[in-house]
């Protein structure tokens, strides 16, 4: 199997996902509106002035990732559930190899989550008064977090689509797997608010990067089994 | 000697061994320094319970990978049995850890990284069973549960090794500390190692019982089908 053919197939699956999403806009609306609504609620109730200066890095980092995490949970599961709902999964199995399907769906979830972070993080910084001193390390952490979260969500979405297609089950299965990631992301974001040095963020960055790596590798081996089960 | 008689001898030996461990934990091991009262004696039960919950997770992975390779329903039953026992020992480790935390730090729960990691392990086991319950078809249930178990296993090292090192932890040093050495009074270490062997024996015994039961159920199901 040639790598370039596989990449072409994966890009074709990604393009199909984008076209299908632009027609229905279900995932975009779910993720975007959930994120914005939660942000407005948090900003209205807590805002930049309700938190003591010494508590700011802890609370703001935790609140940011809670908003991103639950917004992501509301939309990332759709990539496979919609194929089962629309009875198009069998056609997709015939049209593309398992790894290409997984690659295309993962890429779509990464782009969706990156767009959410690009919208939400600057808005959150303005509304909640989050001052980041280590901008470059935070951007790298956001990118690594995006890949780790999207890869976990994609493989769990594949499992629940084959199980029952229930959104509740997605949260039950995904939350325990994503909690270590969330803990490391919150720790890293807190460091980015207090220190501009890369070294201070390194443990969190290494942890998130390694988690993203092992999830992607495990998914490569597990997805064909899940897809054809 | 029959298998049943050999198994009976092993069970009596295991019972006697555990009685010695209990005696050693309360009367042979000295009082640990730097802990409130006799609270440190819980280590002889808490650490082996946590060890068995991780061991069960490893057995669950082994059986899951075997199921993915061979599709034998007995391997799926083995994986489920290991997860059930893992859930039990994980709960026991959480309860004994909380009792220690209450005596040492005044609260049952302190949101310590190690407490969080064991709760996440509990959630992973619970999610594994939630997934199994949601699927009616046996073969699909086995395959998807095995895939989830494998995925959960790769995140476990982050819970056990990475997260507790990013955050400050109240938890005493693990048995083998970050310097790679064992800082424990020799008599305490002997009792702890004996307890680790005893709890591993209990796990093996319960696991074997579960697998025997599953074997009977599968055979009966096959007879019913044929």
Nearest to A66 by CA among A149, A131, A133, A165: A149
**Does residue A186 have a pLDDT over 70?**
yes
Ramachandran assignment for B36, one of left (phi > 0), alpha (psi -120 to 50 degrees), beta (any other): beta
Nearest CB to A180 within list B120, B130, B135 = B120
CA torsion angle A71 A168 A174 A124 (round to 10): 10
**Does residue A75 have a pLDDT over 90?**
no
Say what percent of chain A tops pLDDT 90.
Answer: 50
Structure ipTM? 0.88
In a mutational test of the A interface, the residue from B64, B154, B164 whose CB has the highest number of chain A CBs within 10 Å is: B154
**pLDDT given for residue A158 in this prediction:** 93
**Whole-angstrom distance, CA of residue B81 vs CA of residue B51:** 17
Measured at the alpha carbon of residue A220, what is the angle toward residues A217 and A226, in degrees to the nearest 5? 130
Please tell me the distance in Å from A225's CA to the nearest CA on chain B.
Answer: 7
Q: Which residue has the higher pLDDT, A31 or B161?
A: A31
Mean pLDDT of chain A: 89
**Does residue A92 have a pLDDT over 80?**
yes
State the 10-residue block means of pLDDT for chain B, 226 residues long: 79 93 91 80 92 93 95 94 94 92 86 80 90 89 94 81 63 55 80 95 95 93 79
**Whole-angstrom distance, CA of residue A152 vs CA of residue B151:** 9
Are A146 and A113 in contact by the 8 Å Cβ rule? The answer is yes
Q: What is the pTM (predicted TM-score) of this model?
A: 0.87
Q: What is the mean pLDDT of residues A9-22?
A: 92
- Is the Cβ of B65 closer than 8 Å to some Cβ of chain A? no
Q: What is the mean pLDDT of residues A157-174?
A: 84
- Is the Cβ of A202 closer than 8 Å to some Cβ of chain B? no
Minimal Cα distance from B162: which residue of A?
Answer: A207
Please tell me the distance in Å from A121's CA to the nearest CA on chain B.
Answer: 23
**pLDDT given for residue B168 in this prediction:** 58
**pLDDT given for residue B174 in this prediction:** 55
The DSSP code sequence of A130-159 is ---S-HHHHHHHHHHHHHHHHHHHHHHHHH
**pLDDT given for residue B181 in this prediction:** 60
- A180 to B135: CB separation less than 8 angstroms, yes or no: no
Least confident of A17-31, A46-60, B55-69: A46-60
**pLDDT given for residue A56 in this prediction:** 87
**pLDDT given for residue A48 in this prediction:** 78
Burial of A200 (0-12, 13-18, 19+ CB in 10 A): middle
**Whole-angstrom distance, CA of residue A42 vs CA of residue B48:** 43
**pLDDT given for residue A141 in this prediction:** 95
H helix intervals, chain B: 3-23, 43-70, 73-105, 113-134, 138-157, 163-166, 186-225
**pLDDT given for residue B142 in this prediction:** 93
Please tell me the distance in Å from A23's CA to the nearest CA on chain B.
Answer: 31
Contact list, B163 vs chain A (CB under 8 Å):
180, 183-184, 207
């Amino acid at each position: 199997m040639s790598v370039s053919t596989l990449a072409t197939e994966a890009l074709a699956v990604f393009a199909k996902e984008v076209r299908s999403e632009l027609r229905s806009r279900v995932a975009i609306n779910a993720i975007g509106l959930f994120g914005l609504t939660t942000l407005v609620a948090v900003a209205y109730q807590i805002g930049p002035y309700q938190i003591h200066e010494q508590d700011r890095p802890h609370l703001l980092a935790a609140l940011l990732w809670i908003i991103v995490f639950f917004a992501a949970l509301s939309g990332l599961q759709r990539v496979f559930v919609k194929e089962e709902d629309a009875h198009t999964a069998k056609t997709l199995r015939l049209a593309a190899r398992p790894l290409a399907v997984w690659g295309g769906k993962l890429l779509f979830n990464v782009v969706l989550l990156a767009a959410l972070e690009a919208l939400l993080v600057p808005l959150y910084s303005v509304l909640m008064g989050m001052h980041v001193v280590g901008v470059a390390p935070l951007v790298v952490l956001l990118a690594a977090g995006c890949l780790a979260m999207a890869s976990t969500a994609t493989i769990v979405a594949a499992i629940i689509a084959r199980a029952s297609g229930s959104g509740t089950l997605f949260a039950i299965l995904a939350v325990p797997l994503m909690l270590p990631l969330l803990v490391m992301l919150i720790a890293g974001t807190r460091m980015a608010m207090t220190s501009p040095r890369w070294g201070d963020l390194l443990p969190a960055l290494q942890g998130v990067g390694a988690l993203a790596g092992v999830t992607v590798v495990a998914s490569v081996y597990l997805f064909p089994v899940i897809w054809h089960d | 000697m029959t298998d049943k008689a050999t198994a009976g001898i092993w069970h009596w030996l295991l019972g006697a061994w555990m009685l010695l461990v209990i005696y050693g934990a309360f009367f042979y091991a000295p009082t640990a320094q730097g802990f409130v009262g006799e609270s440190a004696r819980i280590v002889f039960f808490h650490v082996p319970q946590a060890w068995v919950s991780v061991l069960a997770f490893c057995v669950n992975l082994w059986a899951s990978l075997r199921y993915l390779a061979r599709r034998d329903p007995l391997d799926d039953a083995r994986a489920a049995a290991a997860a059930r026992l893992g859930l039990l020992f994980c709960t026991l480790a959480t309860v004994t850890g909380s009792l220690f935390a209450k005596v040492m730090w005044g609260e049952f729960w302190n949101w310590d990284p190690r407490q969080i990691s064991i709760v996440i392990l509990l959630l992973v086991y619970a999610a594994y069973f939630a997934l199994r319950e949601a699927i009616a078809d046996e073969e699909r249930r086995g395959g998807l549960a095995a895939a989830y178990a494998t995925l959960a296993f790769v995140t476990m090292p982050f819970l056990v090794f990475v997260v507790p090192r990013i955050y400050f932890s109240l938890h005493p040093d693990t048995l083998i500390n970050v310097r790679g050495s064992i800082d424990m009074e020799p008599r305490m270490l002997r009792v702890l190692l004996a307890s680790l062997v005893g709890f591993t024996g209990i796990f093996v015994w319960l696991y074997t019982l579960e697998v025997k039961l599953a074997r009977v159920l599968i055979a009966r199901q096959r007879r019913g089908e044929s």
